[in-house]
Structure 1
């Protein structure tokens, strides 16, 4: 075994603003991959963790879901937020989604919605998603020639898709958007509701109150929507607990659109900043499948997940003790020089593209097919009508340690009606 390495560059993971400064972020990640791919980070307000930055190591950790588990620390959060989450769970109130669970319970819970995202179901959804994509391209045409693409288009289109699947009324969409931004935006000055976990707790309680009412309604009168599937699900013959039901709604309503909106806004930005690739794709839409994978790699909306060791082990020769946590940097893995040729080149024809934006192993994103379809439908609808586009201001990225991307993208453009 080698001596544990602590590299100052790894402090970038303990700084939510690093994701707003991409040159600084990628300089640190490139250095870590080359010099300290397994580095100890001990930097308040976070408890110590091991930063893992190489693609192969992250794949190996995610593949071994017995040695490396999600509980009790599935994402990086300040120590006081971790403590609050544990106390809430002990009181039967804390958030417990698929990302908080391990097998066998995780597998049983995942099965509840898996049929909704299988190929047959995706084919049935395609017509509706294509219609929604066209609706938002039409909206873009009518509000032009200038808009904040991230806030006016990229946020609302996937929100509409997932809320429609859940069967929620359109009048509630703005509330869901605000709560999602507050839940994932706890590190961002624009989105967070408060500066402490206690002040941010009402966001979660608002979600729970809303979905508790929804559960009662769908159990009384089931309908043909995803919300009814969740409300009436059973595990081993018993209905889900109130906290598991509410948590399921939360992960579907938030991760089901926030990550995709980040991919679409970041993808639009990439196509603007790489006009040769935009024109290449516009001239040959058969490249759309590889272009979508490259957008997802390039943006990497989910920045990290955490895993905790169930036994003493090692990664790349570095000893990691039982109970210690590893931070899996998907952003770094998606730029690993050992896996990607010219990783800092945006290439709509990149193939192969072994990105880890959807994770790997048993926790691979259950709705990945939906995300791919939404991105594909939107850019397939947009590009044939797009005559010109450029930045109308400086893009702004969200401060985060978990999920995020381009939150403001002012653009000027010309679209055919």
Structure 2
């Protein structure tokens, strides 16, 4: 049960409706809602007929506070992404639990630290540094293909289609150990998993009932499971120096990792490992295409590239939210949070919090400090953050010297999704050498 709700706690219905509308994340109305919430009700309750009530956490400090208290705010007890009542009910009927998958994101202690430790060493800077020469090869080949496309297209290309989708996908699939010929399948499944609310990426294009939606997501998970079962069988028989071998042969409490957990582990690496980086990479080019002065600065000074990378990650914040649930009655931001209450951590709002970031809506590649929350915080800090920064830095080191001019060649289109979103069309006009 929730604590009694005061009238001042409930956010306006129009703002609450914005938070659950995928179209508002595509046309940037979501940032207007976040801005209003930070100023007027930074920790308020959304009460919508089709959703369980949830607290909306929009300030940087409150998101940090929740993220560092893993015993008090759990991931696994309720759905980890915002989901309506009907879909929640259907998922529970399918799995007996609030989530379709059980990856690191859907775990709490004691399981979470055990599962995270299996691959944490792989994602540390000292280990991923060995991939830098190969990542640079991939980056150069990607830039060469872009140059050929631009030459054939009269100076035009779509940066998402021609660069941002394929490059991080190829990098993470090499690290994971997925054959290059299977990358289109991984891209399609990822888009179906993260973009079921977008008509361009959903497996089914018409309006969906909760039952059809849940069944569609279950089918996507089943496709991932079938694919990675073959990978597991191969890596058990023929171990290699790749991440798939680590996952395939991992043991938890002295036994093989359960099948569903193993599928979920593959999925989080294979999907989050490229989709979010793709969005941030496209975001950087979008920002530079709109700001010739900043484009000239970063071209002239490669030392700005790491700052460009972090600012792109902050500015796009591809993962818009995760949900937490309270394990006990507590107080937060002057509100009484009851045991079992559901909280929406709005990372994209925290990353534009005026109390932390000067001119937060502006893109500044020299922003220092840049204490963004795009990778989360605390025990659930993104495992792949160092890989993401490395591959983005290398790409821009290879791409920017070859760009003479850069501008938008049409409107940018964003995906319609309340969980993970970013540019899906980014037409640019360039001159390349």
* Pairwise TM-score range, normalised by the shorter structure: over 0.9
After TM superposition, list the pairs within 5 Å mapping 1:128-143 onto structure 2. Answer: 128-143=134-149
Aligned to 2:105: 99
C-alpha distance after superposition, 1:314-370 (max 9, x if no partner): 221111211111000011100101001111121110000100000000000001000
Aligned to 1:36: 41
Is structure 2 residue 391 aligned with structure 1 residue 384? no
User: Do the aligned residues in 1 keep the contact of 2:79 with 2:98 (CA within 8 Å)?
Assistant: no
Is structure 2 residue 347 aligned with structure 1 residue 337? no
Aligned to 2:201: 191
Aligned to 2:54: 49
After TM superposition, list the pairs within 5 Å mapping 1:6-405 onto structure 2. Answer: 6-8=10-12, 9-22=15-28, 24-71=29-76, 72-90=78-96, 94-144=100-150, 145-194=155-204, 195=208, 196-405=213-422
Give the Cα separation in 2 of the matches to 1:84 and 1:102.
23
Q: Pairwise CA RMSD of aligned residues?
A: 1.6
C-alpha distance after superposition, 1:225-267 (max 9, x if no partner): 1101100011121110111111110110000000000111111
C-alpha distance after superposition, 1:281-322 (max 9, x if no partner): 111011112221111100101100110000111221111211
SS at match of 1:314: strand
User: Do the aligned residues in 2 keep the contact of 1:10 with 1:32 (CA within 8 Å)?
Assistant: no
TM-score of the superposed pair, with normalisation by structure 1: 0.96
Give the Cα separation in 2 of the matches to 1:270 and 1:92.
38
User: Do the aligned residues in 2 keep the contact of 1:287 with 1:349 (CA within 8 Å)?
Assistant: yes
SS at match of 2:424: strand
Give the deviation of 1:44 after TM superposition: 4.3
SS at match of 1:353: coil
Which region of structure 1 is more displaced relative to structure 2, 334-343 or 24-33? 24-33
Is structure 2 residue 425 aligned with structure 1 residue 408? yes
User: Do the aligned residues in 2 keep the contact of 1:192 with 1:200 (CA within 8 Å)?
Assistant: no
User: Do the aligned residues in 2 keep the contact of 1:74 with 1:305 (CA within 8 Å)?
Assistant: yes
User: Do the aligned residues in 2 keep the contact of 1:92 with 1:243 (CA within 8 Å)?
Assistant: no
Give the Cα separation in 2 of the matches to 1:76 and 1:210.
27
SS at match of 2:216: helix
Give the deviation of 1:87 after TM superposition: 3.2
Give the Cα separation in 1 of the matches to 2:194 and 2:298.
32
SS at match of 2:361: coil
SS at match of 1:342: coil
User: Do the aligned residues in 2 keep the contact of 1:146 with 1:411 (CA within 8 Å)?
Assistant: yes
User: Do the aligned residues in 1 keep the contact of 2:16 with 2:47 (CA within 8 Å)?
Assistant: no
Give the Cα separation in 1 of the matches to 2:175 and 2:256.
21
Give the Cα separation in 2 of the matches to 1:148 and 1:244.
37
How many residue pairs are counted as aligned between the two chains? Answer: 415
Q: What runs of 5+ residues in structure 1 fail to find an aligned partner?
A: none
SS at match of 2:39: helix
Give the deviation of 1:219 after TM superposition: 1.1
TM-score of the superposed pair, with normalisation by structure 2: 0.93
Give the Cα separation in 1 of the matches to 2:254 and 2:216.
38
Q: What runs of 5+ residues in structure 2 fail to find an aligned partner?
A: none
Divergent runs of 4+, >4 A: none
Give the deviation of 1:166 after TM superposition: 1.4
Give the Cα separation in 1 of the matches to 2:217 and 2:68.
33
C-alpha distance after superposition, 1:154-194 (max 9, x if no partner): 00000001111111111111011000000000111111113
User: Do the aligned residues in 1 keep the contact of 2:99 with 2:106 (CA within 8 Å)?
Assistant: no
SS at match of 2:240: coil
User: Do the aligned residues in 2 keep the contact of 1:158 with 1:260 (CA within 8 Å)?
Assistant: yes
